[in-house]
Structure 1
Amino acid sequence: MIIDGKNLAEEIKEELKKEISAAGKKLKLAVIYIGENPASASFIKRKQAYGAEIGIEVEIKKPKEEIWKSRAGLRDYLSKITHDKKNNGVIIQLPLPEEIKSRTQYLLDAIPADKDVDVLSSEAVGKFASARFSITPPVVGAIKHIFEKNKIELAGKNIVIVGEGVLVGKPVALWFLSRRLPFTILTTKSPNFSEVMAGADIVISGAGKSGLIKKGMVKNGVVAIDAGTSSESGQLKGDFDPVVSEKASLFTPVPGGIGPLTVAMLFKNFIVLSQKTKHRVSGKH
C-alpha cells in the first residue's frame, strides 16, 4: 500500500479550517528563514499555502546577512520575534547556513515552548520526552497518524530508525522510548547496516540520502516510512529506492508521503498552542 500523504493532509486541513473559523481570532505564524536554500524556500512556500487555506497568516522573517552572522545580533532578532504577542507560533526553518550550523540548538532555544510548534527547543523536547507536552513533533504526529489510520501494531515488532537528526531520528526515538518500545538506530556509517535492515519489520528513515535503502535490503511486508529528503538534479528524493514499494506492506513515497502530512501536523500543533496561550493571557484555565 502506497500512502497518499497529500490526501491525508487535505482531510486534516478541513478539520483545522473548522477550528480556526470557530476560534474567530486572527492567528499568525512567524517563519524565520536565514540565508538562501532552494529546498527550504520550497518548504516555506508549502507552509504559506497551507496556512492561507485554513485561515492562518504565515509571515516570513528574513534577517539581513550582517544580523545573522552576528551571534548576539541574531539572538536579539529572534528574541524580538518570539516575544511579539502578534506571533502565536515561531519556526526557524532548517537547515541553517553552514557558517552558523553549529549554533542551531542555541538559536532554537530562543523559542519559548508555548510558541515552539516544531518542538525543537530544549525546553519543548524535554517536555515531550517526559510526556508533559500537549503536542508532538510534526514528523512524529505524521507517522503516528499513518500507523493509527492503517492499524499498524508496534508491540513485538523489530523497529529500525535510520538517522539521528533533530527533525526525524531524534524525535522518533524519543517517541518510542516514551512508549517503552525497543528499537535500533542505524546511521549511514553503521557497519551492520544491511544485516539489521534485513530483519526489520518497520523502518523509519530520515537520513537524507537518496536511494540509501534498496529493494534487496528489506524483507517482504516491511512497513517503510520515508521521512528523508534530499535534492537531486532539482528533484526531491527519499531515502528508499521507490521500488521498495513493491515489497512493502506500507510505503510512504517522496515526495507526497510524510512531507505534506508533517506540514498539516505542524499547523495542528500551532492551533493547540495558540489556544493554550489565549487561555493563559485571558486568565482562563
Structure 2
Amino acid sequence: MSIIDCKELSRKIRLSLIDKIQKINDQYGEVPHLEIVQVGDHPSSVSYVKSIVKTCDELSVNLHISKFESDITEKELISELDKLNKEDSIHGIIIQFPLPNEFDQNKIANSISPLKDVDCVHSENLGKLFMGEPSVVPCTPKGIIRALKDSNVDFCGKEVVVVGSGRTVGKPVSQLLLIENATVTLCHLHTKSVKKHTLEADIIIAAAGKAGLISEDMVKDGVIIADAGINVIDGKVCGDVDFDNVSKKASLITPVPGGVGAMTNSMLIENLIELFEKIKLK
C-alpha cells in the first residue's frame, strides 16, 4: 500500500501559483479576489472554508467571506449573489454546498455568473465540460485526476466506480474519467448494491459524504482509491473510506485529511487565476 502524497504535489503546484500571482500583481497592480458564499454552519462547509482561508493566506490571494444565517431566504441569497456578480473587484465566486434543503440548489448555482464560477457549478460551464469545450474544471474532480496521474495511474480501460452523484464531485469526475477512456460506474442513493460494483472496481472515487461508507469487505486487493469525502465526527475530519482497514488492501490511497482536500484548494486558486486572466483579456 502506498499513500498518495497530495500535500507534496500540492506544495509544488502552489509554488508555481505563487509565481503566477506575483507576475499578475506586477502586470495589473492587483491580485485575484475570491469570494466565498456560506449559508449556515454545516460542519463540512466550516472545515472547507477554514482550509480555503489558509490557502489564500499562503498564496497572497484576496479573500472575502459572505456569511449568511441559515434563515436567509432563497430570494435574498440570489439577490446577494447578483451584487457579487456585478462587483468588478471580485474575480471568482464559490458557494458552499450543501444549502438549506428548501433551496433550489440548481437555481442558486445558476445565479453565479459563469464568468466568476470558480468551481464550475453553473449549468453553462458544466455543459461545456460535458461537451468537451474549454471551461474551468470543478476543483475537486480536477484535483483527483491530477493526483492520480501524478502517481502514474492509467485510467484507460480501467473499471472505475464513483460513489456519490453530486454536482460538485460525482457527476463531473465521472465525465473527466470518460475523457480519460475509463469505464465508469456511478453509484448513488438508489443504487441497490454499492458493494457489488466496488468489488469489481480497479479504481474507486468516494464522494458520497458519508463517513466510513467504503469498508474493507467492499474492495478487492490492489484497488486504487481517491477519497473526496469530508465528514466531521466528534470534531475530527474523516473521509468516506474506512482508511485504517481499507488501506490494507489498496495499492494506492489518499488519506483524509491531507489528501484530495489539499489538491482541491490548489485547483481552486488555479481556476481563480484562469478566470482573472479571462476577465482582464475581455
- The secondary structure found in structure 2 opposite 1:144 is helix
Q: Tell me how far 1:192 sits from its aligned partner.
A: 3.0
Q: Distance in 1 between matches of 2:203 and 2:60?
A: 36
**AA aligned opposite 1:225:** A
Which residue of structure 2 lines up, in the alignment, with residue 259 of structure 1? 261
Identity of aligned residues (%): 35
Q: How does 1:60-209 map to 2 (within 5 A)?
A: 60-63=65-68, 68-69=72-73, 71-100=74-103, 103-187=104-188, 189-209=190-210
Which residue of structure 2 lines up, in the alignment, with residue 215 of structure 1? 216
> Quick one: which of 31, 40, 43 aligns to 1:35?
40
Q: Distance in 1 between matches of 2:75 and 2:218?
A: 47
Tell me whether 73-82 or 176-185 shows the greater mean CA deviation. 176-185
Which residue of structure 2 lines up, in the alignment, with residue 9 of structure 1? 10
Q: Tell me how far 1:189 sits from its aligned partner.
A: 4.5
**AA aligned opposite 2:97:** L
Instruction: Note the aligned Cα RMSD (angstroms).
Output: 1.7
Tell me whether 116-125 or 25-34 shows the greater mean CA deviation. 25-34
Tell me whether 199-208 or 2-11 shows the greater mean CA deviation. 2-11
Q: Distance in 2 between matches of 1:266 and 1:191?
A: 34
State the Cα deviation string for residues 184-238 of structure 1 (Å, max 9, x = none). 1123542232222111101111011111111122111100111122221121121
Which residue of structure 2 lines up, in the alignment, with residue 232 of structure 1? 233
State the Cα deviation string for residues 215-269 of structure 1 (Å, max 9, x = none). 1221111001111222211211211111211111110111111011111101100
Tell me whether 24-33 or 56-65 shows the greater mean CA deviation. 56-65
Q: Is the 8 A contact 1:129 1:178 kept in 2?
A: no
- Gaps of at least 5 residues in structure 1 are 281-285
Q: Tell me how far 1:160 sits from its aligned partner.
A: 0.8
Q: Distance in 1 between matches of 2:149 and 2:67?
A: 38
1:272 is aligned to 2:254: no
**AA aligned opposite 1:19:** K
Q: Is the 8 A contact 2:4 2:259 kept in 1?
A: yes
TM-score normalised by structure 1 residue count: 0.91
State the Cα deviation string for residues 142-193 of structure 1 (Å, max 9, x = none). 1111122111111121111111111211111222334453211123542232
Q: Tell me how far 1:65 sits from its aligned partner.
A: 6.0
Aligned residues: 276
TM-score normalised by structure 2 residue count: 0.92
